[in-house]
A and B are shown apart, each in its own frame.
Chain A
Amino acid sequence: MIKPTLHSGEFTYPEGTYFQAGYLTQKNAGWRTARPVLDTNACVGCLQCYLHCPDGTILETDDKKVTFDLDFCKGCGICAKVCPKNAIAMTPERGLSQ
Chain B
Amino acid sequence: MNTRELSKNEYFFGHKACAGCGGSLAVRIALKVLGDRAVAVLPAGCMSAVGFNFPQLAFANNAIISTFAGTASMMTGILAGLNARGEKDFTVVSFAGDGGTADIGIQALSGAIDRNDDILYICYDNEAYMNTGIQKSSLTPYGARTTTTPPGTVSRGNEFRKKDMLEIVRAQGIPYAATASIGYLQDYMNKVEKASKIHGTKYIHVLAPCPTGWGYATDDTVDIAKAAVDCGVWPLREFENGVYSETPARGGDKAEYLRRQTRFSHLTDEEVGAITGGSL
Chain A proximity mask over B34-71: 1 for CB below 8 Å, otherwise 0: 00100000000000000000111111111100000000
The answer to whether B25 touches A54 (Cβ under 8 A) is: yes
Q: Which of B24, B56, B63, B218 meets A25, CB within 8 Å?
A: B56
Q: Which of B58, B61, B223 meets A24, CB within 8 Å?
A: B58
The answer to whether B55 touches A50 (Cβ under 8 A) is: no
The answer to whether B223 touches A3 (Cβ under 8 A) is: no
Once A3-B13, A77-B219 are accepted as A-B contacts, the answer to whether A26 and B56 lie under 8 Å apart by CB is: yes
Q: Which of B21, B25, B217, B220 meets A52, CB within 8 Å?
A: B25
The answer to whether B222 touches A11 (Cβ under 8 A) is: no
The answer to whether A31 touches B19 (Cβ under 8 A) is: yes
Interface residues in B, total, Cβ within 8 A: 41
The number of residue pairs between A and B whose CB atoms lie closer than 8 Å in the complex comes to 112
Shortest beta-carbon distance, B48 to chain A, in Å? 13
Once A55-B24, A75-B19 are accepted as A-B contacts, the answer to whether A19 and B57 lie under 8 Å apart by CB is: yes
The answer to whether B60 touches A55 (Cβ under 8 A) is: no
Residues facing B in A1-41 (CB within 8 A) are: 1-4, 6, 11, 19-28, 31-32
Which residues of A lie under 8 Å from residue B63 when comparing CB positions?
A: 21
Shortest beta-carbon distance, A43 to chain B, in Å? 15
The answer to whether B56 touches A24 (Cβ under 8 A) is: yes
A80 at the B interface (CB under 8 A): yes
Query: In the complex, what distance in Å separates the CA atom of A35 from the CA atom of B142?
Result: 36
Shortest beta-carbon distance, B104 to chain A, in Å? 21
Which residues of A lie under 8 Å from residue B36 when comparing CB positions?
A: 2
Q: Which of A3, A52, A76, A82 meets B9, CB within 8 Å?
A: A3
Query: In the complex, what distance in Å separates the CA atom of A96 from the CA atom of B40?
Result: 39
A44 at the B interface (CB under 8 A): no
Query: In the complex, what distance in Å separates the CA atom of A60 from the CA atom of B12?
Result: 18
A65 at the B interface (CB under 8 A): no
Chain A proximity mask over B147-164: 1 for CB below 8 Å, otherwise 0: 000000000000000000
Chain A CB within 10 A, most for which of B22, B57, B62: B57
B221 at the A interface (CB under 8 A): yes
The answer to whether B3 touches A50 (Cβ under 8 A) is: yes
B15 at the A interface (CB under 8 A): yes
The answer to whether A77 touches B217 (Cβ under 8 A) is: yes
> Nearest chain-B residue to A57 (Cβ)?
B13
Chain A proximity mask over B3-32: 1 for CB below 8 Å, otherwise 0: 110101111111111111110110011000
The answer to whether B57 touches A78 (Cβ under 8 A) is: no
> Nearest chain-A residue to B4 (Cβ)?
A47
The answer to whether B55 touches A19 (Cβ under 8 A) is: yes
Once A52-B25, A56-B28, A82-B222 are accepted as A-B contacts, the answer to whether A4 and B13 lie under 8 Å apart by CB is: yes
Query: In the complex, what distance in Å separates the CA atom of A34 from the CA atom of B27?
Result: 24
The answer to whether A81 touches B19 (Cβ under 8 A) is: no
Which residues of B lie under 8 Å from residue A3 when comparing CB positions?
A: 9-11, 13, 60
Chain A CB within 10 A, most for which of B12, B14, B60, B222: B14
Shortest beta-carbon distance, B6 to chain A, in Å? 8
The 9 closest A-B pairs by CB, nearest first: A77-B219, A76-B20, A22-B60, A74-B19, A76-B19, A2-B9, A56-B10, A54-B25, A76-B218
Query: Which A residues are within 8 Å of any B CB, using their own CB?
Result: 1-4, 6, 11, 19-28, 31-32, 47-48, 50-56, 60, 72, 74-78, 80-82, 90
9 A-B pairs with CB atoms under 8 Å apart are A3-B11, A11-B55, A21-B63, A48-B3, A54-B19, A55-B13, A76-B20, A78-B219, A78-B222
